[in-house]
Chains A and B, each alone.
Chain A
Amino acid sequence: MALLQISEPGMSTAPHQHRLAVGIDLGTTNSLVAVVRNSISMVLNDADGSALLPSVVRYLADGNVQVGYPAQALQSDDPVNTIVSVKRFMGRGLADIGDVSNLPYRFANVAATGSGQAPGMVQLRTVAGVKSPVEVSAEILKVLRVRAEAALGGELVGAVITVPAYFDDAQRQATKDAAKLAGLNVLRLLNEPTAAAIAYGLDNAAEGVYAVYDLGGGTFDISILRLSQGVFEVLATNGNSALGGDDFDHRIYCWLLEKNNLSALGAQDTRLLLTHARAVKEQLSDYPEARITAILSAGDVIDTTLTRQDFYDMTQTLLAHTMQPMRRALRDAGLTVSDIKGVVMVGGSTRMPQVQRAVGEFFKQTPLTNLDPDKVVALGAAIQANVLAGNRQDDDWLLLDVIPLSLGLETMGGLTEKVIPRNSTIPTARAQEFTTFKDGQTAMGIHVVQGERELVSDCRSLARFELRGIPSMVAGAARIRVTFQVDADGLLNVSAREMSSGVEAAITVKPSYGLSDAEITRMLEDSNQFAQDDMKARALREQQVEAKQLLEAVQNALQQDGAALLGKEEQERIAGSMAALRETLQATDHLALKRAIANLNEATVAFAQARMDSNVAHALSGRKLSELES
């Protein structure tokens, strides 16, 4: 059976209606997907247990696409078709990117065609054809979507995707387009520093003004946020959309060229040295020096050692570039360094000791690093996605009101089907699908009721209306979506819509009208007191509905084929069982009714078999065997 998760109070979902929503950090270097399960935000790992998906996409000549580690492993061998850091090209024209001489890609100058080929955006010529950054990003998102659906066991209702605070409209739109192409419904785009603040603010519930220093693979953002009672307010943001860990790699790369008197390397060698540069950078976070050995395609051997101090010195100017936006952001917020209560570090590049030291010196305090800087954005995005999908009651809203009694409607047999459970916060809207009971049914009565009891007769009737014009179909084929909507003023609007034809009907009622507090209390008490009775009553009504359906089906079958297929004796036996069932229908013993249903079912087994054989024979008659075999 399905595996269930614990919901927040009052937020249980109907079967097959789990509101699975994820947070996605679509990063320059790595991407992640996270989700809130059992009220805890967690990053989802792939089958090998790794959380990070390298944002690397490789196109193959046969049309296949590799994403993540397999693509990354081959980026030195196949640099032209292996796209790394595609985020830098999102929503960008060639002119926006600047110096492309160090990039191994073949940029295409083609007119935009088809979906994903955004006009004005750079295009990359690969062995599998011309690809836009939107298409490349969509490949990354697709992998994350599939990973999430496998881990959560169902389709996603949507995702919150994070973007740098500095992304402009074109870049944001490109991100949305990529998500759409990947089959994701974007609940919201969220600024990365804000997502980090959500992860820290809500998990640790620490109030005050915080700075979020986010140095990712390709972007730098500084945000000044005020957190109070779980609500965050963005006071100022600043940054540089073309500065990140990649630039630190590039400094090492340039140093390598200089040190070894190299110039104008081919695409493959460029990629090889950049990969080594990144590895060296990561090693220097833990060791005072790191060695680089590589053999270039022309046979040149590189064997050099880089010390931490040299690395600090050559990246000093990059760090200085992050200080200027920090000063500007503080000035915009009207604050000074002494107002900042804490500094949140985000992005893998903040693992570099010189970054932590420089930020610490600037803000005169040790930055916060207790959440994994690579995961913090995705964790915050997941928390936001969970709220937007409606899985959490927003405690922070003070203007909340709840409905005192469940709202529902009458189903066959006089049973109550609750659509909005009591204590749901308003405004709220819930929809449920129903179907027809009889063949050719063209209208459906909708009876709106209020209360906790199982039988409609024990609940309070609020309104009745009818949905007409349902196309004639067999019983159970029509799909009628009934939506209950309660607005902030407590007004209930019920609408019904037949999904295939679009016919619609609606009614507005004010549910709490005329009910005193004492009446509401009595209705609730009754519902608890009569739990056992209600359970039996429901069982009885369900059996009654089943019995009536069966009687009708047998009656129809008898009229059509009874005389042709059955002997007199058998017809009498079936008629006897039917009469017995009709009689039991009046009784209140659901077990006796169940037995009578079983009896009639048994009595008609041979008849049903005969009907099926006769139908098959009818369908096949007059046709040659050869026709059937072909």
Chain B
Amino acid sequence: MGISLTDNAAKHVLNFIAKRGKGVGLRVGVRTTGCSGMAYKLEFADALGEGDLQFSSHGVTLLVDPKSLPYIDGMELDYTREGLNEGFKFNNPNVKDECGCGESFKV
């Protein structure tokens, strides 16, 4: 399995990395937070971490630490616009429950 990007999300990521001037890919993961929740982590990656799992999607390298994978396996990232706001959206099949705005979730 692994994780992937939509075509549109990949275009934005490649553009962001090019403008930023450095980076080997995108790091996607989760961190535990709150009394009962998970939150997504979305960062530029400047180097490969030890034990990182690598996935390639539309020309973007996605890095996931092995600890995070069970929570996001099969997830697809999209890039969308809502009014004046725009950003990445996570379509995660593992999510059973999420807070009102979807920033933290349960599996």
Residues of chain A whose beta carbon lies under 8 Å from any beta carbon of chain B: 1-12, 14-16, 37-40, 44, 47, 147, 150-153, 205, 411-412, 415-418, 421, 434-435, 452, 454, 527-528, 531-532, 534-535, 538-539, 542, 545
Structural contact, B86 and A15, CB atoms closer than 8 A: no
A47 to B84, CA, bound (A): 7
Structural contact, B84 and A12, CB atoms closer than 8 A: no
Q: Which residues of chain B come closer than 8 Å to A40, judged between CB atoms? A: 16, 19-20
Q: Which residues of chain B come closer than 8 Å to A434, judged between CB atoms? A: 35
* Chain B: CB-nearest residue to A534: B67
How many residues from B make CB contacts under 8 Å with A?
A: 49
Of the candidates A2, A12, A150, A527, the one having the most CB atoms from chain B within 10 angstroms of its own CB is: A2
Q: Which residues of chain B come closer than 8 Å to A153, judged between CB atoms? A: 82, 85, 87
A411 to B45, CA, bound (A): 31
Q: Are A15 and B39 CB-contacts (below 8 A) given A2-B102, A4-B88, A531-B70?
A: yes
* Chain A: CB-nearest residue to B67: A531
From B66, B82, B103, give the contact of A16 (CB < 8 A): B103
Residues of chain B whose beta carbon lies under 8 Å from any beta carbon of chain A: 12-13, 16, 19-21, 26-27, 31-37, 39-46, 51, 65-71, 80, 82-90, 98-99, 101-104, 106-107
Chain A nearest CB, measured from B51 CB (Å)? 5
Chain A nearest CB, measured from B104 CB (Å)? 4
Q: Are A8 and B43 CB-contacts (below 8 A) given A1-B98, A152-B85, A421-B31?
A: yes
A609 to B44, CA, bound (A): 51
A37 to B36, CA, bound (A): 29
Structural contact, A9 and B46, CB atoms closer than 8 A: yes
Structural contact, B82 and A3, CB atoms closer than 8 A: yes
Structural contact, A1 and B32, CB atoms closer than 8 A: no
From B13, B44, B84, B86, give the contact of A7 (CB < 8 A): B44
Q: Which residues of chain B come closer than 8 Å to A9, judged between CB atoms? A: 27, 43-46
Structural contact, B51 and A528, CB atoms closer than 8 A: yes
Chain A nearest CB, measured from B16 CB (Å)? 4
Structural contact, A532 and B70, CB atoms closer than 8 A: yes
From B39, B85, B88, give the contact of A14 (CB < 8 A): B39
Q: Which residues of chain A come closer than 8 Å to B67, judged between CB atoms? A: 452, 527-528, 531, 534
Query: 4 tightest A-B contacts by CB?
Result: A1-B102, A3-B87, A15-B103, A151-B84
A416 to B33, CA, bound (A): 9
A454 to B107, CA, bound (A): 15
From B42, B45, B85, B90, give the contact of A12 (CB < 8 A): B42
